[in-house]
Structure formats: structure tokens, C-alpha cells
Amino acid sequence: MQRKALTSHRIAVENIRRKPFRSFSLILLVLLFTGALMVGTLTSVSLHRGVTSLTNRLGADLIVAPHGYKGTVKGVLLTGKPSDVYMPPDSLSKLKRFDFIDTASPQLYITTMKASCCSYPVQLIGFDEETDFIVKPWLEQVYHGRLAEDEVIIGDKVPSAVGEEVRYLGKTMRIVGKLERTGIGFDACVFMDMDTARELALSSQRLKMSYDAEKHDLVSIIMVKLKPGTDAEKAARTITEELKEDKMYGFNSKSFAGPIAANLRILSGYIKFTLVLLWVVAAIVLAMIFSVIVNERKKEMNILRVIGATRGKLLGLILREAAIISAFGAVLGVGVGGFISFIVLPKMSEVLSIPYLIPEWGSLLLYAGACLLIGVLTGPVASLYAGVKVARRDAYTSTRGM
């Protein structure tokens, strides 16, 4: 049995070698299908994980920001795009008039530049450890206690490691923690205590030219948790209307996270439908090509049938050849698809401000294995009809065909 199997394998390999251009075309077709399957699967999964991460991390009911800066805040939260945002003086105290607010916690955004003052351009975020309910629970996964004046915690995309010293706006800071990847803007940010952030902000020349730098109540946005039973949309309108003269704008945090999630769910559905359609088309095209190939090799098949090859052996020969071609194409397709998913798509998500979180290695290997298996099986499934058709011929019919 092993000798027969080996002979069939050699015959299949020799058939592939005899027609390199045809074999390359088949491999390319399987490569394109498997690569698209890999990209589509990882895109769908990564978008879903990114939206889930955004929803979980953005635990505020409302966000209060300077009027006209909703898009800027969105860029920081979704992609970590460096931005300077400053609210009018005493903004935090002006929210005390609203009895529907349970907790209000300020954050300060500072943009560094690539210069002698800074190790690299990055978005700094200062948060109030006394009132924070957004950032601190997340940071506590990697660091316990209160951040000192010269300590920072960095996101996954920041090119530094725990224990290193970095320099921001002329101040040397020590990294005491690095967060796990979230797929949103926090991955590219550096977190520090609010007092430290204000000290750095007041040393910025850009801030001195655009803001009263003597004020020590610098705030970029205010995260708001509402009391139970409060309507978020109504509360946002109330804040916007009553603080209109102060150019303060309140908006429901779900007003940009919700539509993004809905749109990405629709996109994910389209991707899944397209992948199923793509598999059907690929299988049909491969089936047609294998039918043509088998028909061209009718004489060869007839000879094998006459000299004693069984129907099962002929069918196995065709399926084996299809499997070898599919295996080459599937392996290359998974590699190309993985490269695109890791290198190209994350860059696109940053440009489009879309949360994108690639699965962990364990899940990633499972998805890659599933795509590889589907790619390898596509060829044999597509060639099954042609193989069965050849195997049904008896020795007498094969002799007449010669």
C-alpha cells in the first residue's frame, strides 16, 4: 500500500512539473482565495474586538469638551492622534451646577514634538487619580499605587519599555508600566498624573501663546458619569445650552462609538457574505479548470486504466494532484494574508479612525489554521467531479478511447 501511494504521489508531482505554467496559475488562484479569506477573517474579527475594546474602555456617560473639538477628541480616543485641546478656565467648577452629574473627572491632552525636548512625538494624557473612573481601573492591571511626579505608564504602541527613561517637554520621566494592546487610541498614548501633566503643559511654548499659562486648572476634556436614571442625550443638551457662552459642549460618548459599532457590524456582515461568495466562485472556477485538465489527459488516464489502475487509484491520483497544488497556494495565501492583516490594515485603520485589535497569538493560529484547511480542501473538492467522471470509465471504454 505504501508503495502504491508513493507511486501515485510521484505521478501527481510529475504531472505538476510537466505543466508549470498551468500549475502556477492554479496555485495563484488558490493563493488569492486563501489570502482573501485570511484577510477577511482577521479584518472581521479585529474590527469586532476593536469596537468591543472601545466600548469597554470608554466608560463615561458624557464627554464635555471645548465647542468644535468633538472630532479632535474622537481622534485621540480612537487612534491616539496627537492633539492639543484646552477648555476655558474654571470649566470643571462650572459643571457643579448640574445635579444629574455623579462624577466629573478631568483629563489633559498634551502633544509633544520630536525635538531636543522630547524622545519622540506622542500624545500625553494627564488624569486625576482622585476622581478618575476611566483610565485608572485599566492602568491598575500593570501598576498598583499612585503615580509619582516622574512616573508614566505607556500604551502598547509607544516605542519604549518598562524601566526606561524618556524625556517629554524637557522633563525626564521613568516608565513604570506598559499596557496591553486595546486597538484604540490609548495604545499610542502616555499616561501620567494630572499635576505632572499640567507642569509639562505650562512649559510648552505653544500653550503659552494660546492660553493663559498662569492658570493651574488646565483641562482638555471632562469625563462625566451620570446619576442612575438620567437620560444621557438630554443631559448633554442641557450642558451644551447652559454653557454655550463658555463654549463648552457636552455629547453622549455613545454618539460616536455607537454609529461606529453599527457600521462595522454591517461591514463585517458584508465581509462574511463576500468570503462565502468568493469560495463558491473559486470552487467553480477550479472545477472547470480541472475538468479541462482531465479531458486533456484522457489518453494518459485511459492507459493507466488499461494497465490495471483501479477506479479508486485514478480518483486518488486526481485528488492528490489537486491537494498538492492547493497546499502550495494555501500556505502562500495564509502568509500573504497575514502580512496584509498585520502591516497594511492597522495603518488603514489609523487613517480611517477605526478601532482595530488583532487577536492574540493563540486565536490567531486557530484562524490561520482554519483558513489553511479551507484553502487546502478547496482544490480536491473542486476536482472531485472530474475525478469521479474519469474513475467511472471501465477498461473496455478506456481501450476504445485510445
Using CA atoms, how far apart are residues 129 and 399, in angstroms rounded to an integer?
Answer: 88
Given a contact cutoff of 8 angstroms between Cβ atoms, the answer to whether 129 and 147 are in contact is yes
Q: Which residues 6+ apart lie within 8 Å of 261 measured at CB? A: 51, 54, 55
* Averaged pLDDT for residues 35-61: 78
CA distances to 12, 191, 327, 350, 374 from 333, in Å = 22, 40, 10, 25, 11
The region, left, alpha or beta by phi > 0 then psi within -120 to 50, assigned to residue 16 is alpha
pLDDT at residue 281, as a whole number = 84
Share of the chain above pLDDT 70, in %: 74
Q: Over the chain, what is the mean pLDDT?
A: 77
Q: What is the dihedral of CA 84, 87, 90, 91, to 10 degrees?
A: -130
Cell triple for residue 20?
Answer: 508549470
pLDDT at residue 303, as a whole number = 60
How does residue 401 score in pLDDT terms, banded at 50, 70 and 90? Answer: very low
How does residue 280 score in pLDDT terms, banded at 50, 70 and 90? Answer: confident
How does residue 1 score in pLDDT terms, banded at 50, 70 and 90? Answer: very low
pLDDT at residue 368, as a whole number = 92
How does residue 258 score in pLDDT terms, banded at 50, 70 and 90? Answer: low
Given a contact cutoff of 8 angstroms between Cβ atoms, the answer to whether 110 and 216 are in contact is no
Three-state SS sequence of 316-374 = HHHHHHHHHHHHHHHHHHHHHHHHHHHHHHHHHHHHCCCCCCCCCHHHHHHHHHHHHHH
- pTM exceeding the 0.75 threshold for the entire prediction: no
How many Cα neighbours within 13 Å face the side chain of 324?
Answer: 17
How does residue 52 score in pLDDT terms, banded at 50, 70 and 90? Answer: confident
Of 375, 379, 357, which is closest to residue 35 (Cα–Cα)? Answer: 375
Residue 389 vs residue 104, higher pLDDT:
104
pLDDT beyond 60 at 350: yes
Worst-scoring range by mean pLDDT, 37-46, 184-193, 304-313?
304-313
Length in residues, the chain = 402
pLDDT beyond 60 at 151: yes
How does residue 206 score in pLDDT terms, banded at 50, 70 and 90? Answer: low
DSSP category for residue 96 = G
Worst-scoring range by mean pLDDT, 146-150, 253-257, 274-278?
253-257
pLDDT beyond 50 at 295: yes
pLDDT beyond 60 at 223: yes
Worst-scoring range by mean pLDDT, 19-28, 174-183, 230-239, 316-325?
19-28
Q: Which residues 6+ apart lie within 8 Å of 191 measured at CB? A: 125, 126, 127, 135, 139, 147, 152, 153, 154, 155
Using CA atoms, how far apart are residues 322 and 289, in angstroms rounded to an integer?
Answer: 11
